[in-house]
């Protein structure tokens, strides 16, 4: 009797696995069929970029596409975001898939026929606008995933929530935006999301490859402002001053020891960088105040708190030693992009099916930051990278540039890997959910 039960269970399990494989194979074949459309969409968005919280036409085109697929659409989420809900024919978990949609204030220099000619204003300065980080590819990939899954809705064991997020690069000064605002407005609710997946194109990774890391994969990014206040005097009599410029120089040197001498770097990486310093108006006047602005990158929450405290102590005590005072303001930015270890391990085969097992690499964390982390603070998430670097130098005058540069370049043959990966993650998670 026991053997009969085991055989029955095995038969049921085998049938379920076979059905799941058929579903995956069907999705993969449909992904290949729409590859040309994905590339066409990418080129449209690349030629028509919009800055953070100003993605009006981008959102309109996304909404039109989702609506045409019969997906329930909500617009104006976190100002310009679009959310689509696709209810499957069978009960199951709610899987969220995210793509960011904003561009950067960068003037494009790549000689591709669909290069951006868009001009805008950023911080009061006229600038070109460019998808210099690849968000155009993210939009196109998720639009492709939505099209495939919409044609399989009766077979889906659950619900898919497509999140097209604005302002990943940061909202304009004085505005809210991005993933943080989406979470605040309840994007992960109604229906409640069980898990979220996101990807990023990688200009430095070969086409056809996927990279990932469990745990902290991208850094928390915080901003600090330090004001050194001294005593103003004539430049010819420095002894009658409390020189905030000299004090600031010593503070900058002291800040370098926060990472090099006070942080356990064998645990995780950390970065403290001063990006701007300003003070004084004339060559022969020692000013009263100097301001420094910089960034803090950490990959561990305990380390983040320690680094913040070390920066405050270092700046304040060095200033005091010179007879000056230091005011330290640390503004919390993006949290650590943290891939749930259990979820990452569970979904690794899905990534390997998309790119091939030999083309999926475990990598070290990077000190860039991503506001996808706000979603991961609420629900388990997995964020991974898809290669976009051509295997050989492109013909013509194209110079391969990295992210956030005028020469940023992506080989579009890598987009299909992103489509396949997101499809696999969605279908495999739904199939395996209890």
Q: What is the DSSP string of 107-150?
A: ------TT----EEEETTEEEE-B--SSHHHHHHHHHHHHHHHH
83 and 191 share one domain: yes
Q: For residue 250, what is the domain's CATH number?
A: 3.30.70.360
210 and 67 share one domain: yes
Distance, CA of 119 to CA of 101 (rounded, Å): 17
228 and 153 share one domain: no
188 and 56 share one domain: yes
- pLDDT (tens digit per residue) in 295-322: 999 999 899 999 999 999 999 999 999 9
- pLDDT (tens digit per residue) in 252-279: 999 999 999 999 999 899 999 999 999 9
Residue 326: count of CB within 10 angstroms of its CB: 23
Phi, psi (deg, nearest 5) at residue 122: -135, 125
128 and 245 share one domain: no
Percent of the chain with pLDDT over 70: 96
Of 334, 360, 381, which residue is a domain's last? 334
- pLDDT (tens digit per residue) in 201-239: 999 999 999 999 999 999 999 999 999 999 999 999 999
| Averaged pLDDT for residues 371-387 | 98
Of 212, 334, 409, 429, catalytic? 334
| 334 is known as an active-site residue | yes
| Number of folded domains that form the chain | 2
39 and 140 share one domain: yes
209 and 229 share one domain: no
90 and 208 share one domain: yes
Sign of CA dihedral 32, 38, 102, 64: negative
Of 334, 365, 399, which residue is a domain's last? 334
Q: For residue 378, what is the domain's CATH number?
A: 3.40.630.10
Q: Are 218 and 297 in contact (CB under 8 A)?
A: no
| Averaged pLDDT for residues 341-347 | 98
Distance, CA of 135 to CA of 124 (rounded, Å): 24
Sign of CA dihedral 260, 262, 264, 268: negative
21: confidence class by pLDDT, cuts 50, 70, 90: confident
Of 307, 334, 361, which residue is a domain's last? 334
173 and 288 share one domain: no
Domain range for 302? 220-334
Mean pLDDT, the chain, rounded, equals 95
Between residues 268 and 193, which one has the greater pLDDT? 193
171 and 231 share one domain: no
228 and 214 share one domain: no
Of 180, 212, 412, 429, catalytic? 412
pLDDT value at residue 6: 44
Which residue intervals of 34-134 are DSSP H helices?
Answer: 35-47, 56-68
231 and 190 share one domain: no
């Amino acid at each position: 009797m026991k053997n009969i039960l085991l055989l029955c269970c095995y038969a049921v399990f085998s049938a379920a696995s076979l059905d799941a494989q058929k579903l995956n194979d069907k999705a993969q074949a449909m992904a290949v069929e729409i590859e040309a459309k994905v590339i066409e969409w990418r080129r449209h968005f690349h030629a028509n970029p919009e800055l953070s919280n100003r993605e009006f036409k981008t959102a309109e085109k996304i909404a039109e596409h989702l609506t045409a697929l019969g997906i329930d659409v909500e617009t104006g989420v976190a100002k310009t975001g679009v959310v689509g809900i696709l209810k499957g024919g069978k009960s199951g978990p709610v899987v969220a898939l995210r793509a960011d949609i904003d561009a950067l204030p960068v003037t494009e220099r790549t000689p591709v026929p669909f290069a951006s000619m868009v001009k805008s204003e950023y911080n009061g300065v006229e600038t070109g606008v460019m998808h210099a980080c690849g968000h155009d590819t993210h939009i196109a990939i998720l639009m492709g995933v939505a099209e495939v899954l919409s044609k399989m809705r009766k077979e889906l064991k659950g619900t898919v929530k497509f999140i097209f997020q604005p302002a990943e690069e940061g909202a304009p000064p004085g505005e809210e935006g991005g993933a943080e605002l989406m979470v605040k407005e309840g994007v992960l609710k109604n229906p409640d999301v069980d898990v979220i997946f996101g990807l990023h194109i990688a200009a430095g990774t070969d086409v056809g490859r996927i990279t990932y890391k469990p745990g902290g994969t991208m850094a928390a990014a915080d901003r600090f402002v330090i004001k050194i206040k001294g005593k103003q005097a004539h430049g010819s009599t420095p002894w009658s001053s409390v020189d905030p410029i000299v004090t600031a120089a010593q503070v900058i040197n002291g800040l370098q020891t926060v990472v090099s001498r006070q942080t356990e770097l064998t645990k995780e990486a950390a970065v403290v960088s001063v990006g701007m310093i300003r003070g004084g108006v004339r060559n022969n006047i020692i000013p009263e105040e100097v301001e420094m602005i910089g960034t803090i990158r950490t990959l561990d929450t305990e380390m983040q708190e320690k680094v913040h405290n070390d920066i405050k102590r270092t700046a304040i005590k060095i200033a005091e030693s010179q007879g000056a005072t230091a005011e330290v303001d640390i503004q919390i930015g993006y949290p650590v992009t943290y891939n749930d270890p259990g979820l990452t391990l569970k979904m690794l085969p899905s990534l390997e099916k998309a790119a091939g097992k030999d083309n999926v690499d475990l990598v070290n964390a990077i000190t860039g930051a991503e506001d996808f982390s706000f979603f991961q603070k609420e629900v388990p998430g997995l964020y991974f990278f898809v290669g976009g670097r051509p295997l050989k130098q492109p013909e013509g005058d194209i110079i391969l540039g990295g992210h956030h540069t005028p020469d940023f370049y992506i080989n579009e043959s890598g987009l299909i890997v992103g489509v396949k990966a997101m499809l696999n993650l969605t279908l495999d998670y739904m199939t395996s959910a209890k």
